[in-house]
Amino acid sequence: MATPTPRVRMPATAKAGETIEIKTLISHEMESGNRKDKDGKVIPRKIINGFEAKFNGKQVFKTVWHPAISANPFMSFFVKVPEAGTFEFAWTDDDGSVYKSEQKIAIG
């Protein structure tokens, strides 16, 4: 499997106090641990099990995912932007790997 690639789509600017939509997608196979390979051996579970978004270091969104989540999971959520700053996004894999992305937003 290739290294998971996180993608984020959100506005570059917003008005102070405006609510914006953030769309995230990460390319990941999300192996449930229920399938078998050609030799009949169980393919180990390997899923993104957590996602967290922070704005200027403060958590604004967090979720826990389970094996039923789709491959290449897409998520959309809304956040009120009080000031200019940086969004930090982190996806956590079963093996402890964390895939990160950052996006800045300006007030204008």
Q: Give the pLDDT of residue 67.
A: 79
CB 103 within 8 A of CB 55: no
Q: Give the pLDDT of residue 96.
A: 92
> Is pLDDT at 101 greater than 90 in this prediction?
yes
pTM above 0.85? yes
Q: Please give the mean pLDDT across all residues of the chain.
A: 93
Ordered by start, the domain boundaries in the chain are 5-35+42-107
CATH of the domain spanning 5-35+42-107, picked from 3.40.449.10, 3.30.70.270, 2.60.40.10, 1.10.10.10: 2.60.40.10
Read off the pLDDT of residues 25-72 as tens digits, 9 standing for 90 and up: 999 888 888 889 999 999 888 889 999 999 999 999 999 998 788 889
CB 17 within 8 A of CB 41: no
Q: CA distances (Å), 45 to each of 48, 52, 87, 91, in order?
A: 10, 21, 30, 16
Beta-carbon-side half-sphere exposure of residue 7 (alpha carbons within 13 Å):
9
